[in-house]
Amino acid sequence: MKVGIFGQFYHQHSEQPIQHFLDALKKTDVEVAVEKNFLELIKHHDGIDTNVATFSSFTELDKSYDLFFSIGGDGTLLKAVTFVRDLGIPIAGLNTGRLGFLATIQKEHIETSIQEMIAGNFKISQRALLAIETTPDSNEIGELNFALNEIAINRKNTTSMIKVETYVDDEHLASYWSDGMIVSTPTGSTGYSLSCGGPIMDPGSKSIVLTPIAPHNLNARPFVLPDKAEIKLKVTGREKSYLISLDSRIATLTDDTEIRIKKAGFSIKLAQLKEDSFIKTLREKLLWGEDKRN
């Protein structure tokens, strides 16, 4: 069995769970490769064995990998997606961060969780992505033109609202005067979209969510569409440029740019322990089970 490991090491006091994770892997008969930059980070900490192979780019990954571990929070897992892309390698997230909707392996149960994963005792959750095209083509976005959580439009260098003209399958929906617009997958419905009043959606839902950010149109509400729909956005405002984010990646576009968003041609496989479920995650992460009446 061959596994890849990626992390960003942003979180304080994460050395211990990383060491426990690598120790748990040593007890198994697997080939391990650690992403080059992450390996350089953990080399500075005594007691962490870094005698493993490395990789540094997407082009060095191939379908010989059986699992790809992300160590950190959900943001780290989103970045791991840019390594795996359309290879179909299952991604498992070890949560050393905070909330962890995507990174569901808890640091308190590392050894038993890794044993289960290596033994193949996990399930696959297929997650849809969004893809973006711009007219004219933008070098700012490049080949990483996809997002697992959301694609978001935000104002830049101004406190004034922007107008986001929104079309669905080339039919005009509305012009949103707002701080921006979020186009979210079901996976991303518990992220930025949720913070802006969007609905929580089961990851298996075949839908796309449009969530305006602080709209001045008081009757504007989030809108759920089938995932076969194509979204077109045109942005205007006092400034001649605006921000667009694809998960954690940010670019600047000019207001003459037309954006088209649709379901990507590939999906991501999230590897989860068999006892994990989206409903269980909601109860634990959003504290829905804290009501004593439950």
Say if residue 128's pLDDT is above 90: yes
Q: What is the pLDDT of residue 123?
A: 95
Structural element, H or E, at residue 193? helix 192-195
Phi, psi values for residue 179, rounded to 5°: -85, -10
pLDDT in tens, 212-248: 999 998 899 999 999 999 999 999 999 999 999 999 8
| Whole-angstrom distance, CA of residue 77 vs CA of residue 73 | 7
| pLDDT, mean of residues 115-128 | 93
Task: Give yes or no for residue 39 having a pLDDT over 90.
Answer: no
DSSP state of 291: S
C-alpha of 105 from chain center: 16
Give, for 273, the enclosing helix (H) or strand (E). strand 258-273
Where are any strands of DSSP class E within the chain?
2-7, 31-35, 53-55, 67-72, 91-95, 105-106, 122-135, 146-147, 150-154, 162-168, 171-178, 180-184, 207-213, 223-226, 231-236, 241-246, 249-254, 258-273
Which has the closest alpha carbon to 127: 64, 196, 192, 78? 78
Which among 150, 120, 116 is positioned nearest to 132, based on CA atoms?
150
Domains of the chain, start order: 2-120 (3.40.50.10330), 130-265 (2.60.200.30)
Q: Which two tokens stand for residue 169?
A: 């399958």
Q: What would the pLDDT profile of 77-112 be if each residue is shown by its tens digit?
A: 999 999 999 999 999 999 887 777 898 888 888 889
Residue 49 falls in the annotated catalytic set: no
User: Of 62, 74, 169, 170, which one is the catalytic site residue?
Assistant: 74
User: Are the beta carbons of 92 and 70 closer than 8 angstroms?
Assistant: yes
Whether the CB-CB separation of 281 and 101 falls below 8 Å is answered with yes
Asked whether the whole model's pTM tops 0.85, one would answer: yes
